[in-house]
Chains A and B, each alone.
Chain A
């Protein structure tokens, strides 16, 4: 469980990383290790027919390296991670526009850091036009435009009809500069440039990794760092797109806010905490108690509707005649009885037989109150008060004097939580007294045993 350090200071000396940058840095850390002279992937020049293929490594090389160095358990996972890194353009297949990783002899090359996503590239269509135009000026077969690129070029020519002379000139200038380069260097740079565009103008049908979640894009931390100009066609100034609204200056807390914070921390310090050992035991026992009811751990009886296309399981859960497993669950904790409508009904019936149902009825009434629209609340509060708490109430409940006084006050200005204290008191009473008697009652035990003879355990 490696702890990842997101605190790389950037050139402004700040250490906040936006979510995207966090991922880029992690991938770049992996790339750096892959490029390590000693422990990285061996990069070589391969002789092919009359020419050399410089600076490459194979897909299997990458997969093997990932398996070994990142403690990945299987090849599928390694392939998956590798494909993601390729899709982001950190390395690319030299003979394909589609950026995936194949576990075979396909050749890959590293991308130059200049084109890394962490440089916040957002290249404009004018640059793409220059690039495609330049490609048509180069006679090499390997640089021929793919169909989708030809289509894009045609569209761009229409869109930039008025600027086209200018774009053409830029393309010519770029082509001239490229020609002057060393042949091997050219091969490498051409492929890296192409891979850059494969990321920012992906093959139709491929995932566009430059798509940003709109919730995150509006918080770009360093909008002025966004690079838009690949070929120096325009100034590197931010546009006014929604992804570039400047992040609001972090507000300095006011005195009042600080005092609130201090109060909060003090209240937190006063809180009663449980030891981890106790908490762990509690989590273990809860999970164990419910594992029989977890369809991912234990096949439901008679079947999981999604698998068998048979809805019996759902019908049983909704039925007024509860099955044994359902009744057993009521015995876990009072909330299970209160959650299940049939459980509530049975509990109520039991309490009525003991002439002590007013507590549960009060509790249920208050729950109902909180579910009503705010408009109905004052009337309902009055009704509940009259029924359960007023002097001479038909279903008088017993609450401690403190709660009673508080409730009397609340009722004068009735809100949804008017009976909160009383309800809490009653809940505790039910939990410690009525509920345990219900679970031990013959009525409950009969329900628990009733279906046992009929159903068979499937173990």
Chain B
């Protein structure tokens, strides 16, 4: 009898032990091996540096910029802003819950609404110019139709569209007033039908808060890029919800992502004090924009119309302008005590606006052009 038992037990023990943790470990190793292999494959095609190829083009001259407009009116830090397609109107949102629509050209305030929540971290202008979307700590994205009636009560027409389980970090209309793309502190992005509030697609893959997104500038593409606190930038297929490509070279949170105007590449700004350029065809990081003296994180980035210049707003109250191809800094704007939160180039590239907090005043924007 004893012998029978002795023969049985070892076998059953073995069978139990080879199940859960072994499979997980094997899979983990396999995943990591593949990831390393991918990095090797990507590196193989790196036969030259971008700035080396760019040596043959002329350097940009000394760059001077000037503030052309200052929009004052927010009571607190301006967190986000977006241009209207008409190239002159702007929507901005602030820490105290206010959302304001301006004609930046005349500096007139055209509409204002107070959200029921503070920290409105995201806002966007609809392509038609007839609506704006915004959200933040309320975990939602709401759409407000704009009318010409000055006595309108914007708040009454508010439409709740997106629902996340954590703060809304960014929102953006697709090329229609009818769909909105959102990113959230809950680690996901989602595409919504504005009219019904239905979620059309969700995008899972980030391991932490998603902080930013940008739609690919294409008449034909259905992709967008997102950046998050997991230091990853991911390119998504809007049709299927799948992550098409991902890049993980930053050393800290990615606060901002913007496509290069051709749509073949995108730039990112991070708390690691660098901006980086990733090319989708080369499938890797192709340039880093940094300096030893820049130690504060990048909060916002955007390209000039041709893609030659990259504007970066930083947490040390400066805006650094980079030559995208040569990798050098061509200009620096000091905001003194003005923290730069969002920076956006206008749709036709004639100016860029950045949102800031003026220490002794209140929140404001500046519209900057070349001299």
Interface positions of A (Cβ within 8 A of B): 1-2, 4, 6, 17, 19, 22-23, 26-27, 30, 66, 70-72, 76-77, 80-81, 84, 205-207, 214-216, 218-219, 252-253, 255, 258-259, 261-262, 264-266, 268-269, 271, 273-284, 286-291, 293-297, 300, 304-307, 311, 313-314, 317, 335, 338-339, 367, 370-375, 416-417, 420, 424, 427
Collect the chain A residues with CB atoms within 8 Å of residue B176's CB: 370-372
When the two chains form their complex, are residues B239 and A216 in contact, meaning their CB atoms are under 8 A apart? no
Interface set, chain B 253-303, CB cutoff 8 A to A? 253, 260-262, 264-265, 271-273, 279, 281-283, 286, 288, 290-293, 295-297
- In the assembled complex, how far is the CB of residue A269 from the closest CB belonging to chain B, in whole angstroms? 6
A297 in contact with B264 (CB, 8 Å): no
From known contacts A295-B350, A373-B178, A374-B200, infer whether A276 and B286 are also in contact, taking CB-CB under 8 Å: yes
A contact patch SS: helix
Given the interface pairs A19-B253, A338-B219, A374-B193, the reply to whether A277 lies near B53 with Cβ below 8 Å is yes
Q: Is B360 an interface residue (CB 8 A)?
A: yes
Question: Could you tell me the distance between the alpha carbons of A85 and B57 in the complex, rounded to whole angstroms?
Answer: 38
| Least CB distance, A3 to chain B, in whole angstroms | 9
A286 touches which of B48, B179, B220, B262 (Cβ 8 Å) = B262
Task: Quote the shortest CB–CB distance from A336 to chain B (angstroms).
Answer: 9
Alpha-carbon separation in the docked complex, A276 to B239 (Å):
29
Q: How far is the CA of A418 from the CA of B349 in the complex (A)?
A: 35
Cross-chain contact of B281 among A279, A284, A289, A295 (Cβ < 8 A) = A279
Q: Are A296 and B245 in contact (CB under 8 A)?
A: no
Asked if B119 is at the interface of the complex by the 8 Å CB criterion, the answer is yes
Residues from chain B with Cβ under 8 Å of A294 in the complex: 304-306, 308-309, 349
Q: Of residues A71, A416, A420, A424, which shows the largest number of chain B Cβ atoms within 10 Å of its Cβ?
A: A416
Could you say which of A4, A282, A367 contacts B251, with CB atoms under 8 Å apart? A4
Residues of A within 8 A of B251 (CB): 4, 6, 22
Q: Tell which of A215, A259, A300, A367 touches B121, judged by Cβ atoms closer than 8 Å.
A: A215
Say yes or no: A287 contacts B308, CB within 8 Å.
yes
Known: A23-B297, A276-B282, A290-B306. A373 touches B211 (CB 8 A): no
On whether the beta carbons of B349 and A335 are closer than 8 Å, the reply is no
Shortest A260–chain B CB gap in Å is 9
* A215→B185 contact, CB < 8 A: yes
Flag whether B157 is at the interface (Cβ < 8 A).
no
- The interface residues of chain A lying within 8 Å CB-to-CB of B370 are 295-296, 304
| A295 touching B369 in the complex, CB below 8 Å, given contacts A26-B273, A259-B27 | yes
Q: Contact between B265 and A283 (Cβ–Cβ < 8 Å)? A: yes
> B306 touching A287 by the CB < 8 A rule?
yes
Within 8 A of A (CB), among B349-371: 349-351, 359-360, 367, 369-370
B interface, CB within 8 angstroms of A = 23-24, 27-28, 30-31, 34-35, 37-38, 41-42, 45-50, 53-54, 57, 60, 68-69, 86-88, 105, 119, 121, 137, 167, 169, 174-179, 185, 193-196, 198, 200, 208-209, 211, 218-220, 222, 229, 239, 243, 245-246, 251-253, 260-262, 264-265, 271-273, 279, 281-283, 286, 288, 290-293, 295-297, 304-309, 315-318, 324-325, 327, 332, 334, 337, 339, 348-351, 359-360, 367, 369-370
Alpha-carbon distance A279/B279, docked complex (angstroms) = 8
Instruction: Point out the residues of chain B lying under 8 angstroms from A266, CB to CB.
Output: 34
The 18 listed contacts between A and B (C-beta, < 8 Å) are A218-B185, A255-B24, A258-B31, A268-B246, A273-B282, A277-B53, A283-B50, A283-B325, A284-B53, A287-B325, A295-B348, A295-B349, A295-B370, A296-B370, A297-B304, A313-B350, A374-B200, A416-B200
Given contacts A4-B272, A205-B359, A306-B105, are A274 and B119 in contact (CB under 8 A)? no
